Structure 1
Amino acid sequence: MNPLTSRQKKAIETRAKLLKTSLDLFNKHGYEHVSIEQITKACNVSKGTFYTYFPTKYDVILEKFKELDSFYSTVEKNIDSSLPASEKILTLYQEQMKYLTNVVGKDLLRTVYTAAMTSQVEQDHYLISPQRMIFQIMNSYIEEGIQLGEFRHDIEVNHIQTIIQRCMRANVYDWLIHNEDFDLSAEMAQFTAIVLDGLKIKNK
C-alpha cells in the first residue's frame, strides 16, 4: 500500500477535526442550535470545506451510527454459532451496552439521540433504517430462532425485531436520565431476557 500524501493526510485531519468540533458544539449548545457556520468558524475552514466531507449537518451524527454498525459486525463474528438464538441476541446486546458505556459515553449518546428527535431531520431516520447492520443481524437471529422452534411462529420477524429493539432504546433512554448507579448492561440483560422469554414457544 502506497503511503498517504501530505494532501491526503491533511484531508483526513480536517475531516476528523470537523467531526469532533461539530459533536462538541452539539453537546454544548444542542444540535438544532448549532449552525454549519459556527462549526466552520471554530475549525477555521470554509463552508465549502465542510460540505466536501459532510453533505448536511446531520451527516455528522450519521457517522456515529455507522461506527456503531461497524462494531456490531465485529461482535457478530465472535458470537458462538452454537448458542440458541435468544442467547445470541443477549450476547450482542451485552457487547453493545459495554461499548455504549465505555466507548461512546452518555454525553455523546445524548447528543445523538437528541439530534434524532429534532424537526430539522427531514430524511428517513437512519436510527430505525432496516438497512442498519444491527437490524440485519437481529433478523438473522430471529429467523434462526423461528426455524429451530425456539421463537413463536405467530409473530412476524419484523414485529419481533421491533419489540426487541424497543427494549434496547428504552433501556438506553433510562440510562441517559438516571444517575451513575444505573447499570446499563445488567438492566438490559434482565429486561431483554424477560421479553425474549415471552417470545419463545412454551413447552406444554
Structure 2
Amino acid sequence: MPESLTSREKQAIATKKRIYRCGVELIKKYGYDNITVKEIAEKANVSIGNYYHYFKSKYDLLVEIFKHGDEFFEAEVPKILDEYKDCKDILVQYFLVYARLSINDGVEMAKNLYIPTNKMFLTHGRSMQNMLIQIIKNEQEKGKIPNTLDCEEITEKLFIVARGVIFDWCLKDGKTDLLAEMKEIISRMVESYIKK
C-alpha cells in the first residue's frame, strides 16, 4: 500500500480484501449460488452494512473475482508479446495464461465458476478479451490471419474452446495436465485461423 494513505484508508483497503478473501473461500467450499451476503459478512467478521459499503451486491463479489483475472492477464500478456513473435505461439501462450489463472485459483474455485448460471463469461469488453482482439488485429495487419475474419468472433470462439478445456479439467477433478491440454487443443484451433 502506498505510504501516503491514511490509517483509515489502509484499514478500508484491508477490510475490502478480507471480505473478498472470505467470499472466495466460501465460493470454493459451497459454490456461489449456495452462499449469502450474510454468510460472507459473518466469515469476514463485518456487518452486512459494511459488506454493502464495499460491494453493492453478492454479484459484485463475482465481478471482483473476474476483475482479478483481468489484472492477471494485464500483467502476463505483455511478457508474451515481448518474448514471442510467431502468431501461433502468441495465441497459444495467451491461452496458457488462461490455464495458469485457473491453476492459480485452484480446481475447486474453477468448479464453482465454470457453471451455466455464471453469466460473467458472456460479459463483453473485459480487458482479457480486448487484449486478444488487439493481438488478432495486429496479426491481421501483418497478414498472418485473414482480414475477412472478424477478430471479435475469433476471440469469442477461442474463449469457448478454452472454457471447454478448463471445464473438462474440472470434470476430472484437476487430475489432467491443464497446460498440456490447453496447448494441444488451442494449437489446433489457432491453426484453422492462420493463413497457410
Same fold (TM over 0.5): yes
Matched residues in 2 for 1:38 and 1:181: separation? Answer: 31
For residue 90 of structure 2, what is the aligned residue in structure 1? 88
How do 1:82-121 residues align onto structure 2 when only pairs under 5 Å count? 83-101=85-103, 103-114=104-115, 117=117
How do 1:38-187 residues align onto structure 2 when only pairs under 5 Å count? 38-81=39-82, 83-101=85-103, 103-114=104-115, 117=117, 125-187=119-181
Matched residues in 2 for 1:44 and 1:187: separation? Answer: 41
Matched residues in 2 for 1:32 and 1:86: separation? Answer: 38
Distance 1:154 1:35, change over 3 A: same
Matched residues in 2 for 1:95 and 1:27: separation? Answer: 21
Q: Deviations over 1:61-86 (max 9, x none)?
A: 22121111111112222124561222
Q: Quick check: 1:23–1:111 contact (8 Å CA) kept in 2? A: no
CA apart distance, 1:18: 1.3
Unaligned runs of 5+ in 1: 119-124
**Aligned residues: CA RMSD:** 2.1
Q: Percent identity?
A: 23
CA apart distance, 1:139: 0.8
TM-score (norm 1): 0.84
Q: Deviations over 1:12-70 (max 9, x none)?
A: 22212211222222233332222212222333322210111001101112212111111
For 2:162, the aligned partner's letter is M
For residue 121 of structure 1, what is the aligned residue in structure 2? none
For 2:97, the aligned partner's letter is E
Matched residues in 1 for 2:161 and 2:141: separation? Answer: 23
Q: Quick check: 2:92–2:190 contact (8 Å CA) kept in 1? A: no
Matched residues in 1 for 2:3 and 2:159: separation? Answer: 42
For residue 34 of structure 1, what is the aligned residue in structure 2? 35
Unaligned runs of 5+ in 2: none
Matched residues in 2 for 1:75 and 1:29: separation? Answer: 30
DSSP 3-state at the match of 1:117: coil
CA apart distance, 1:3: 4.4
Matched residues in 1 for 2:69 and 2:161: separation? Answer: 17
CA apart distance, 1:99: 3.3
For 1:85, the aligned partner's letter is C
Q: Quick check: 2:29–2:108 contact (8 Å CA) kept in 1? A: no
Q: How many residue pairs are counted as aligned between the two chains? A: 194
For residue 191 of structure 2, what is the aligned residue in structure 1? 197
Matched residues in 1 for 2:63 and 2:13: separation? Answer: 17
For residue 122 of structure 1, what is the aligned residue in structure 2? none
